[in-house]
Amino acid sequence: MTPRSLWDTHGHLQDPAFDEDRDAAYQRAEDAGIGVIIPGYTLASSEAAVALARRWAGAWAQVGVHPHEVANLPADWLGQLATWARDPRVVAIGEIGLDYYRHLAPAGAQRAAFEAQLALARSLALPVAVHCRAAWDDTVAAIRAVPGVRGVLHCFTGDRAEAGALLDLGFYLSFAGPVTFQAADALREVVRWVPRDRVLVETDAPYMAPVPHRGRRNEPRWVEDTAARVVSEQGMSREEGFVALVANTMQAFARLAGRNAN
């Protein structure tokens, strides 16, 4: 695999927001030496993520069902995820988790799907990419109930206590565009506190573009802006910090480094 200067560990390039320039958006990241991990959020988007990862040398996939999407899954949904997850271009089960903020699926259905996907990840020795919004206690409890599962809390915006609980569980914390926002002093304080070897960066494209692109459709190329702010807050130079972020990404996602995850 071509060495990367940085990784966008969570960018939804299969999203319809990229329908008119998907290849160009990927190529802008590729030209900058940035690798992209494309997470699924439905069965269809998971399949699309795998297809893009097979097509682009600098892209990899995650497969999973987001908590908003778990209410009407087909009977064989977990088997479909398991099949895709065995593809060598898939590096994690994600994006999975709990979201009680918008209540787009019943909490019980969310918990059942989350628990099933955590168990799948453990059975395949794959990490997970977790979404958590207004569901902190249940998210941590579900992870603790599956000993040995590891992964990343994507787009982390919590406080130091929440960060510490995830670090204790062996998780990485991934920071996105909000860390660059003017009002994010509390989040930047957490960034300064988190150990350097447990930090990742992402865009969550097409959402939450970092400063100076705020208000525009986000894309993987702009992960550099988030990364620059994160490593600066951690007291590292851009060069030193980007090397550290790449090393963390390789550790978090074994298949990126050519290590057999199962």
CATH number at residue 247: 3.20.20.140
Which structural domain range is residue 253 located in? 6-257
Span 17-46, pLDDT tens digits: 999 999 999 999 999 999 999 999 999 999
pLDDT number for residue 1: 65
For the entire predicted model, the pTM comes to 0.97
Is residue 24 situated within a structural domain? Answer: yes
Is residue 1 situated within a structural domain? Answer: no
Task: Name the domain count of the chain.
Answer: 1
Q: What is the mean pLDDT of residues 71-84?
A: 96
Is residue 64 situated within a structural domain? Answer: yes
Higher pLDDT, 179 or 103: 179
Task: State the CB neighbour count (10 A cutoff) for residue 138.
Answer: 17
Is residue 262 situated within a structural domain? Answer: no
- Pair 114, 142: CB distance under 8 Å: yes
Closest among 208, 83, 222 to 155, alpha carbons compared: 208
- Give strand ranges (E) for the chain: 6-8, 34-38, 59-63, 90-99, 128-133, 151-153, 172-175, 199-201
Span 167-179, pLDDT tens digits: 999 999 999 999 9
Is residue 199 situated within a structural domain? Answer: yes
